[in-house]
Structure 1
Amino acid sequence: MRTCKRLPCLAFAALALFGGSTAARAFEGTSSKKQPSPFEQFQTGARAYIAGDKAGAVASLIDAANRGHAMAQWKLGRMYAEGDGVERDDVKAFDYFSQIANAHADDAPDTVQARFVANSFVALGNYYLDGIANSPITADPERAREMFSYAASYFGDPDAQYNLARMYLDGQSVKKDVRQAARWLGLAANKGQRDAQAVLGHLLFNGGEVPRQAARGLMWLTLAKEAAGDQDQWIVELYDKAMSAASEDERASSASYVNAWLKDRG
């Protein structure tokens, strides 16, 4: 189960409404005195999108993207990848994400725009995993691993960390290494990545390839289950199975761990 989602969408909305910051403008692209700047066009497009006018949003976002505004490129990439207000076109999405990765790979990881750059690397990694049908973009798991590894290591992106962990778990383009997978899962899980929390919890609860820590595993499964959406039935199933197999002591310890984890982040 690969992932590429969450926080960037919230940040996009916030920057659309309150995006006059230096950091946002630094991501702007080239402007001209004779027409709205790329940043202004991005804001126009983003506000149209939020208002439900996706056709109007696309026109403004394309203008901004063509002049180098990376946040507009990112939003168009997501829209084409999901068929959101446009006909789905994975090749166009791939192209927009590639433009961002090529131009902004060295952006500082603590900037506002870093999450969009990291998310673009994750999106590219997902495309390289399976390729795009009827296009020159073929499956290249090694390239996918490079994309995930860069976003996971340099940007500390939790979705990238989860996807990289899955590759180590599955032995895809790398030698299978469950302990290495658990390390990446732990990094992502501590950032609230629910898929990572569920998989790490499952590994720890069952043990075998990693030392068994049933209560700690049940803690992660509980946190993942609480964050699960309608599309995450697999998480609920893992939680239910572990909960039914856990002892009373394991359940009690797990509840204490959950409360402590939530308190630390409260």
Structure 2
Amino acid sequence: DDKEAVKFQRLYAEKGVVNAQFRLAQMYYEGLGVEQDYKEAVKWFRLVAEQGDAEAQRSLGEMYYEGLGVEQDYKEAVKWYRLAGYKGDVNTQCILGTIYDEGEGVAQDYTEAVKWYRLAAEQGDTDAQCLLGHMYDQGRGVQQNFKEAVKWYRLAAEPVVFEGDASAQYNLGVMYDKGQGVAQDHEEALKWYRLAAEQGDADAQYNLGWMYDEGQGVAQDYKEALKWYRLAAEQGHGTAQNNLGLMYARGDGVPQDYKEAVKWWRLAAEHGYSEAQVNLALMHDDNLDCLNSPN
């Protein structure tokens, strides 16, 4: 019974038991056994955070960052996040990396972002590993180094207990596709795209569709291309929507259907995809030999 649990936790929290104070804060935060009350949550998180508990420091940082129970204050949020981060809290380290990477409430600082991503990545956090790989890939906060990018992408991408990080799998696929930091290998690219695509990554679904469409790294298979284009298109991927329209217009892997082609081109055009806008105009002018698809 949550209400009884609140009474129990409060009894020990008021006696100074740290675990009870933290649990009581969580109950106020989540509204478990008590009316949700962010101010009361902040009060108890603060008591625990001031005793040096990293998880409470992260939680208090979140309250300040989101303006829950306190006036929004990015500086105060970062103060508490940094305290937790230096204590080794891996989630906070990744959060700090993102804050500095994107300049959310602080001056954008790629070097500082890399520092925090690395701390979390070295503890095995897959999000941080992927993000650190991206920093090396783009040369942000570090000298561009494709081999180092591949190293971190691979650590995040490899399925161990779980499926592996889909973004890292997609990015690793791109590295193999382009031959950046590794020998170019379209079959290996296909493998990583497929792993990411099966987890719902729209960019990977599009790239996998394109490889089946063009027969790159795999035997050409329009039906398989259509399947992956459609999955990406249904997530709003403009290029996939355009190419799905082309499949219907040409009758590749599907009965020719101009109405269906126009439907997908219109969706792509609404996303600002210029090739789809051109294709709609060509369709209107009955000039189908010049239909546009990306490389």
TM-score normalised according to structure 2 size: 0.63
Matches within 5 A, 1:34-113: 35-51=51-67, 53-55=72-74, 56-102=76-122, 104-105=123-124
Aligned residue for 2:145?
Answer: 140
**SS in structure 2 at match of 1:227:** coil
Distance 2:100 2:245 in 1: 36
Aligned residue for 2:172?
Answer: 164
User: 1:79 Cα deviation (Å)?
Assistant: 1.0
* Identical pairs, percent: 28
2:127 equivalent to 1:124: no
Name the structure, 1 or 2, with higher relative contact order (CA <8 Å, separation 6+). Answer: 1
Distance 2:135 2:84 in 1: 24
- 1:81-101, CA deviations, whole angstroms, 9 ceiling, x for partnerless residues? 111111111111100011112
- 1:49-76, CA deviations, whole angstroms, 9 ceiling, x for partnerless residues? 2337251322221221122211111111
Aligned residue for 2:182?
Answer: 174
Aligned residue for 2:40?
Answer: none
Distance 1:237 1:67 in 2: 49
- 1:106-143, CA deviations, whole angstroms, 9 ceiling, x for partnerless residues? xxxxxxxxxxx1111111111112323xx6x2111111
Aligned residues: 207
- Aligned 8 A contact 2:226 2:253 in 1: no
Aligned residue for 1:202?
Answer: 210
Aligned residue for 1:263?
Answer: none
Change (3 A) 1:60 1:149: same
- Aligned 8 A contact 2:157 2:165 in 1: yes
**The structure with more radius of gyration:** 2
Q: Say what the alpha-carbon RMSD is for the aligned residues.
A: 2.7
TM-score normalised according to structure 1 size: 0.70
Change (3 A) 1:44 1:210: same
Letter in 2 for 1:82: E
2:238 equivalent to 1:218: no
Identify the match of residue 151 of structure 1 among 146, 152, 156: 156
Distance 2:256 2:99 in 1: 43
Aligned residue for 2:283?
Answer: none
User: 1:34 Cα deviation (Å)?
Assistant: 6.1
User: 1:173 Cα deviation (Å)?
Assistant: 1.9
Task: Name stretches of at least 5 consecutive residues in structure 2 with no aligned partner.
Answer: 1-28, 31-47, 258-295
Task: Name stretches of at least 5 consecutive residues in structure 1 with no aligned partner.
Answer: 1-16, 19-31, 106-116, 253-266
**SS in structure 1 at match of 2:226:** helix
Change (3 A) 1:49 1:242: farther
2:222 equivalent to 1:249: no
Change (3 A) 1:62 1:175: same
User: 1:248 Cα deviation (Å)?
Assistant: 7.1
